[in-house]
Structure 1
Amino acid sequence: MNEKFDAIIIGAGQAGPSLAGRLTGAGMKVALAERHLFGGTCVNTGCMPTKALVASAKVAHQARRAADYGVMLGSAVTVDMRAVKARKDVVATTARGNVEKWLGGMKGCALYRGHARFVSPRELSIGDATIEAERIFLNVGGRAFVPNLPGIDKVPYLTNTSILELDTLPRHLVIVGGSYIGLEFAQMYRRFGSEVTVIEKGPRLIQREDEDISAAIQTILESEGIAVRTGADCIRLAPHGQDVAVGVDCTAGAPEIVGSHVLMAVGRRPNTDDLDLDKAGVARDERGYITVDDELRTNVPGIWALGDCNGRGAFTHTSYNDFEIVAANLLDGGSRRVSDRIPCYGLFIDPPLGRAGLTEREARTGGRRVRIGMRPMTRVGRAVEKGETQGFMKVVVDAESDRILGAAILGVEGDEAIHAILDVMAAKAPYTTLQQTVHIHPTVSELIPTMLGELRQ
């Protein structure tokens, strides 16, 4: 006989555990199933371990620049990759342990360790057990997408998950993919001491951004010795002795790059192909993402999809917001919607990029009149004092409503300063509210009002 629950949650990523907490707090009997590691991508193979590596790489970079600040370190800076990995592992395992401990002590929550598959729209099998509930929440996450490139089956390659297990330094890391994940690994490994080449099929890096942002990021990376090859129309791989040859067919430069290691960083795919969703009748799109409405409900009543598997956001913060939307609507009588949130994210190279809302290109689509404000980081006192003046800040304002449509801050502390703009956007206040606000000196944020006072068409 099946064990019955009020709710079943599949996946212990960012949305699942918090949702379990709210549901059990409301008196529900909840089952949560996790087939691998508690904490999901962010804790285990995403934000926490990678940002721990970014932090180690930044320290190495600052140590090499010590003389610029009048600090003499003496001998050359070296990096112990085993120690770097060990520190990263502690960060991730501690966070994972905390999630598991929290769930294990949650009254009213039964943990199932295994792979859940649908038997029917209300039933799931997990190993030898079959459980059922009237409410089922899918929080199954995603994984690296590996394209079927010519020769990929003949060479070893890394993904964002397997590269985290390296405790030695690649002699030459070739990264296929010039977007967010690839660029973070590019800079960190260059700072650790590897030769690094980034290969991007498109005409420029991170094509989601405006061209001026893409160009500035490429300049930052190249200034640290990272080679960038764009316009790689025919990427192919082949063994080259103990190394790997990556063909690029770019319009300029060598036709192939030989590296000791290859990282595939060309995107993500949802973990929805082995859930037997067809037995529940749950619809997916052509890329495998579970189709949801504005309140994260699937086409099957009583089944929701949260986090990376629904295609409505690919970040930890959007996954957590999915939980907030579902919990508010289900338990608090709310009417929150995915479409209410403002897109925002960061690129955590150094200096980082903080992004909110529309790009200039997106804002101008359809003939909308906009005003643009820009400020180079060379004119930001905090950046000058820290000796980190690369990048700029940029804001896009609707010329008719005076509302801020979007912003980007590429520069020191840009990932934090962007929230001053994001909060004003969420409040639907005119840009003048922020322009007339007094900020603390000396900070990066204090130049945002100044930038807003210099808007141009």
Structure 2
Amino acid sequence: MPTFSYDALIIGSGQAGNPLATALADAGRRVVLVEENHLGGSCVNYGCSPTKALLAAAERAHHIRTAAEYGIRAQEPEVDFPAIIARKEALVQHSRAGVRSNLTQEHPGITVLHGHAAFTGPHSVRVTLVEGDEREIEAPLIFINTGTRPAIPPLAGLEAVPYLTTTELLDLQELPEHLLILGGGYIGMEFGQMFRRFGSRVTIIESGKKLLEREDDDVCAAMQEVLAAEGVELVLGAEARRVSRNAAGQLTISAHTPAGERRLHGSHLLIATGRTPNSDKLDLSKAGIKTDEKGYIRVNSSLETNVRGIYALGDVHAGPQFTHLSYDDYRVVRDALLHGKRRSARQRPLPYTVFTDPQLGRIGLSEEQAQAQKIPYRVAKMPVRTIGRARETGRTTGFWKVLVDSQDRILGAAIFCAEGGELMTMFQLIMMGRLKYPQLQNMIIAHPTWAEGINNVFAKLQEPE
């Protein structure tokens, strides 16, 4: 088996590994990147890009279905589901081609290998190529960017039924008649609303007492109300105990709920109960790399593992799993290795958006977090319908909630509103600039925009109840 030496080895073509490969190559380093599946990682192939393409199609269908509210007569939309999937696939293929070109043509000094990598020592890896050949690779710097995969719960009968993860659901060619979704996190909610708007019946089964368990109760209640109003059935506090399939192909989940035992029937089952790290097939023990009890690779504030020169980037290490944080992992490592600038990966803001309609944009502390940390705060809450832009567009569902500290600065915001992610980013900028809320009340903001709410949201700033 031949041995090859490089300055840096990157395992996984994700949102941290790809830009790191180009940055190191541009700095004159010889880089090899190993990818077992498609280039681009989860975001390009089965995460952000494809799901948001499908959500855009679902939103168009909803616009047509509700056009009469705006004085436009329209027929019930005819959903061509294979065409929707084909559009999504074209976008994915375009992104994959862009990643491949970036790595193999635009930046000399990068070698891309398609195959499986496994450690043979602290700084050596065996790569089994898709063609079957093997080669040993040695490098003083190694970066693990292998991401996660869907976690499959120990549900009785699951191994005997044709369940789906989000990866398979994105490639369906038929619209489910009745989609059962096991899990009420942001994935379950986005797909639930999406397929309901496509015309499927949808039931979300969640073991907790509310959807989005990490959010404040008022945010969860508002989200649940929106989904229920569109016809999504929510079964909360439900412990799924068994799944089965009859001769006609119907799936049945037996669940214990606060109302007693229930048998929930559907044509398709989506498992959306979380993710598990792709660290178990890398032979980490041969390099001495430590993981936590769930298999996530342990890293320090610089994203370095317990083995010097080996780093873990993106979702494969513990912490929030978002593309933008994976990309920031790349920046943390790039700046430390190439620019001599050290920054802790533990001290950074966490903005995120749930892409339901309306969106939920979140930055900073929630009320529950502020209370748990015993941080004094006041809260401003404003219904979306008070914003002129909301009334004019008819998108009046939701509210803004902003937490303010004792120094009149923003602690956090939950923006459940049309364009909630974009509006949340404005609050993130406000927090970075350490502006005080009275300054925001007196800003001149173009009319009529969603952003005008920044002038008004603080009108009823109150102590928490």
Task: Provide the C-alpha distance between the structure 2 equivalents of 1:427 and 1:117, rounded to a whole number of angstroms.
Answer: 45
Q: Does 2:215 align with 1:209?
A: yes
Offset at 1:434?
A: 3.3
Please state how far the C-alpha of 1:3 moved relative to its aligned partner: 1.2
C-alpha spacing 1:98/1:391, structure 2 compared with 1 (3 Å)? same
Residue of structure 2 aligned with 1:371, choices 370, 378, 381: 378
Residue 313 of structure 2 corresponds to which residue in structure 1? 306
Q: Distance in 1 between matches of 2:246 and 2:437?
A: 56
Counterparts of 1:83-102 in structure 2, within 5 Å, are 83-102=83-102
Query: What's 2:131 paired with?
Result: none
Q: Secondary structure at the match of 2:379?
A: strand
Q: Deviations over 1:80-138 (max 9, x none)?
A: 00101001101111111100111111201111111111111111111211111110011
Long gaps (5+) in structure 2: 129-133
Q: Indicate which of 216, 238, 241 corresponds to 2:244.
A: 238
Of residues 405, 408, 411 in structure 2, which corresponds to 1:402?
408
Deviation track 1:3-37 (CA, whole Å, cap 9, x = no partner) reads 11111111111111100111011111111111110
| Aligned residue identity for 1:95 | S
Question: Does residue 190 of structure 2 align to residue 190 of structure 1?
Answer: no
Deviation at residue 375 of structure 1 after TM alignment: 0.8
Residue 424 of structure 1 is aligned with which of 430, 437, 440? 430
2:125 maps to 124
For 1:317 and 1:114, the matched residues in 2 are separated by 26
Matched, 1:393 2:406: no
CA distance in 2, matches of 1:343, 1:112: 33
User: 1:446 is paired with a residue of what secondary structure?
Assistant: helix
Per-residue deviation, 1:286: 0.6
Structure 1 residue runs of 4 or more that deviate by more than 4 Å after TM superposition = none
How far has the Cα of 1:388 moved from its partner? 1.1
Match of 2:69 in 1: 68
Name the residue aligned to 2:152: 146
Deviations 1:332-376 (A, max 9, x none): 111111122111111101111101111111011243211001110
Q: Alignment RMSD, CA only?
A: 1.3
Q: Which amino acid aligns with 1:427?
A: G
Letter of the 2:35 counterpart: E
Secondary structure at the residue paired with 1:311?
Answer: coil
In structure 1, what is the Cα distance between the partners aligned to 2:391 and 2:422? 17
Q: Which residue matches 1:177?
A: 183
Letter in 2 for 1:243: Q
Q: For the residues of structure 1 that align with 2:361 and 2:139, how far apart are their CA atoms?
A: 41
Instruction: Give 1:254 shift.
Output: 6.6
| Letter aligned with residue 198 of structure 1 | I
- Structure 1 Cα separation of the partners of residues 14 and 164 of structure 2: 23
The 5-angstrom pairing of residues 322-401 of structure 1 reads 322-398=329-405, 400-401=406-407
Whether the 8 Å CA contact 1:342–1:426 is kept in 2: the answer is no
Matched residue of 1:402: which SS? coil
Residue number in structure 2 paired with 1:110: 111
| 162 and 288 in structure 1: CA distance in 2 versus 1, 3 angstrom threshold | same
Amino acid in the other structure paired with 1:150: A
User: Among residues 124, 131, 139, which one is paired with 1:133 in the alignment?
Assistant: 139
Query: 1:279 matched to which residue of 2?
Result: 286
d(CA) in 2 for partners of 1:244 and 1:362? 39
CA shift, 1:253, in A, is: 7.1
- The correspondence of residues 208-227 of structure 1 with structure 2, limited to 5 A, is 208-227=214-233
Name the CA shift for 1:344/1:235 in 2 (closer, same or farther; >3 Å).
farther
Q: Which amino acid aligns with 2:119?
A: F
Amino acid at match of 1:321: D
- SS of the residue 2:447 aligns to: coil
Instruction: List per-residue Cα deviations over 1:244-289 (Å, max 9, x = no partner).
Output: 1011211227711010001000101110000000011111001111
Cα deviation digits, residues 212-243 of structure 1 (max 9, x gap): 00000000000000000001034321123311
**Quick one: distance in 2 between partners of 1:300 and 1:144?**
28
Question: Is residue 307–residue 313 contact of structure 1 (8 Å, CA) maintained in 2?
Answer: no
- Residue 394 of structure 1 aligns to which amino acid in structure 2? K
The amino acid of 1:68's aligned partner reads E
Q: Share of identical aligned residues, percent?
A: 44
Stretches of structure 1 that go unaligned for 5 or more consecutive residues are none
Whole-angstrom CA distance in 2 between matches of 1:364 and 1:356: 16
CA distance in 2, matches of 1:53, 1:72: 25
Q: TM-score, normalised by structure 1?
A: 0.97
Equivalent residue in structure 2 for 1:250, among 245, 257, 262: 257
Aligned to 1:14: 15
* Offset at residue 436 of structure 1 (A): 3.5
Which residue pairs with 1:54 in the alignment?
A: 55
Higher mean C-alpha deviation, range 277-286 or range 441-450: 441-450
| Partner amino acid, structure 2, of 1:383 | A
Cα distance in 1 for residues equivalent to 2:72 and 2:368: 43
1 CA distance for matches of 2:259 and 2:148?
35
Q: Is the 8 A contact 2:351 2:425 kept in 1?
A: no
Contact 1:175–1:265 under 8 Å retained in 2: yes
Secondary structure at the aligned position of 2:368 is classed as: helix
Indicate the SS of the match to 2:415.
Answer: strand
User: What TM-score comes out, normalization by structure 2 length?
Assistant: 0.96
AA aligned opposite 1:382: R
1:454: Cα distance to partner? Answer: 2.8
Give the structure 2 partner of residue 414 of structure 1.
420
